[in-house]
């Protein structure tokens, strides 16, 4: 049975992060993930995770200055990018998070590509058993972001050549840019470390819109996907009121 992870960058954002973890546990999620937890004391995060028994799947490197959306592909900013990676790896180790999403930032061109590859090689070598994730973002939501397609991500993963570098496959972003989500899931499965979901095009709960998520659930079960799937959607209000998609079909914690 499929299981789901609550992305606390979107869900229960009206609460402090430790309390959002508790809310996810009460709602029946099997895991949690977050964006930028660095202002929250490690001890508070550990306490909430221990209380709920939920694993923290991952967190992001810092976004940098306003409008940068990451540092790792910004030419001339390598020292800051590596410091952000090291910070994320340290925090993730302290709370037992399984992965770090290395944010590329808004950039383009060969120098940006080289900078991103260099930072990713450092991240993968320093990860100490944790997964490093990269995620293509669509230009409607993230204009100017360096990484935009699964093909670009797959080529970078091959170039870096580290077994712990994986693709974060967000069905919402992939559909907005490339479409053909089912076939891309099937083709890219060996490279995928994490899957996220939201409706298209409004990025609401995955119970309406262009993507037929019950069909995607069936495909993922056929493919043998076992990791929790990240619910990264805009609830548009009370998060608890939007969870029928999870409770009505596949379960939360599962087996």
Q: What is the DSSP string of 71-129?
A: STT-TT-HHHHHHHHHHHHHHHHHHT--EEE--B-B--SHHHHHHHHHHHHHHHHHSTT
- Segment 2-59, tens digit of pLDDT: 999 999 999 999 999 999 999 999 999 999 999 999 999 999 999 999 999 999 999 9
Domain ranges of the chain: 4-248
pLDDT greater than 90 at residue 96: yes
The pLDDT mean for the chain works out to: 96
**The one catalytic residue among 43, 87, 135, 221:** 135
CB 173 within 8 A of CB 138: yes
For the question of residue 135 being annotated catalytic, the response is: yes
- What is the structure's pLDDT at 254? 37
Q: What is the fold of 4-248?
A: TIM Barrel (3.20.20)
CB 206 within 8 A of CB 178: no
- What is the structure's pLDDT at 253? 44
- What is the structure's pLDDT at 248? 53
The pTM (predicted TM-score) of the whole model is 0.95
pLDDT band of 247, cuts 50, 70, 90: confident
- Segment 170-216, tens digit of pLDDT: 999 999 999 999 999 999 999 999 999 999 999 999 999 999 999 99
- pLDDT > 70: what percent of the chain? 97
Phi, psi of 172 (to 5 degrees): -65, -50
pLDDT greater than 80 at residue 255: no
- Segment 25-34, tens digit of pLDDT: 999 999 999 9
Q: What is the mean pLDDT of residues 104-128?
A: 98
pLDDT band of 1, cuts 50, 70, 90: confident
**The one catalytic residue among 33, 68, 98, 232:** 232
């Amino acid at each position: 049975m499929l299981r789901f992870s609550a992305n606390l960058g979107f869900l229960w954002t009206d609460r402090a992060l430790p309390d959002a973890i508790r809310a996810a546990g009460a709602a029946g999620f099997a895991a949690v993930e977050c964006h930028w937890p660095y202002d929250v004391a490690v001890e508070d995060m550990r306490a909430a995770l221990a209380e709920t028994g939920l694993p923290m799947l991952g967190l992001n490197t810092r976004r940098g200055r306003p409008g940068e959306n990451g540092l790792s592909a910004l030419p001339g900013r390598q020292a800051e990018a590596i410091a952000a990676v090291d910070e994320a790896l340290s925090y993730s180790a302290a709370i037992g998070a399984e992965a770090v999403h290395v944010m590329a930032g808004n950039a383009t061109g060969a120098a940006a590509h080289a900078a991103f590859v260099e930072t990713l090689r450092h991240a993968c070598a320093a990860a100490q058993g944790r997964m490093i994730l990269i995620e293509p973002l669509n230009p409607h939501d993230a204009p100017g972001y360096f990484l935009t397609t699964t093909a670009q991500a797959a080529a970078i993963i091959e170039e870096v050549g580290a077994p712990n570098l994986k693709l974060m496959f967000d069905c919402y972003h992939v559909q907005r840019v490339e479409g053909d989500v089912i076939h891309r899931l099937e083709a890219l499965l060996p490279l995928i470390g994490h899957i996220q979901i939201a409706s298209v095009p409004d990025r609401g709960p995955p119970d309406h819109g262009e993507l037929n998520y019950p069909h995607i659930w069936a495909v993922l079960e056929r493919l043998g996907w076992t990791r929790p799937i990240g619910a990264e959607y805009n609830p548009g209000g009370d998060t608890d009121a939007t969870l029928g998609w999870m409770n009505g079909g596949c379960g939360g914690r599962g087996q």
